[in-house]
Amino acid sequence: MEPYAAYGITFPGLTAGGYGEQLDQLATVCTKKGASQTAAQLAAVKGHLDKVARFRDGVKAYTAGVGEAAGGSQQLFGGLSVLYTASEPLVSGTDAVVDALMDMVEAQLKENNITVDLTADNYKEELDRLAGRGQQHGYKIAGFLQEAKDTLADLEDFREGIIIIRMQ
């Protein structure tokens, strides 16, 4: 029979889940037997073990959190890859709309005997030049040219925004 069994204490050894109750039982017996210093030492040991348990639980929670963050970052990467791939048709479609709009502007200008070759690189300067020339010569297409330039600029901004998102 174990020496503390006589006091009603079952003490198979300290466990992570039961050490607190076991040490409290021992401290109570020590106090009853007049060993208050030993009871205080057991309370201090319990306090240290409580800190170790909180640290252990914190490490487990941190490790689990790191694992979740790693899983989340993998999902995010996968989602960004899908977004990148899915945005390609949007960029191509925007390019097609810009090209069609420039063709339409060129055709309308041609109806007014104005020939110009618009590109994504030169449309702003060309339309500004034509608008200035139109005002000097009294052309009534200045408003149309500004509207076309604004629309092309909006499409260019939209396209660039998609490309920037794809690069991030």
User: Is 137 a residue whose pLDDT tops 60?
Assistant: no
9-47: per-residue pLDDT in tens? Answer: 666 676 777 788 888 888 888 888 888 888 899 899 889
49-104: per-residue pLDDT in tens? Answer: 889 989 998 999 999 999 899 888 888 888 878 877 877 888 788 888 888 888 98
pLDDT of residue 161: 83
pLDDT of residue 1: 41
Residue 7 confidence class, pLDDT cut points 50, 70, 90: low
Q: Which residue do the tokens 């021992």 mark?
A: 26
d(CA 162, CA 1): 79
Q: Residue type for 128, please?
A: D
pLDDT of residue 6: 64
Note the pTM of the prediction, 2 decimals: 0.47
Q: What is the mean pLDDT of residues 125-134?
A: 81
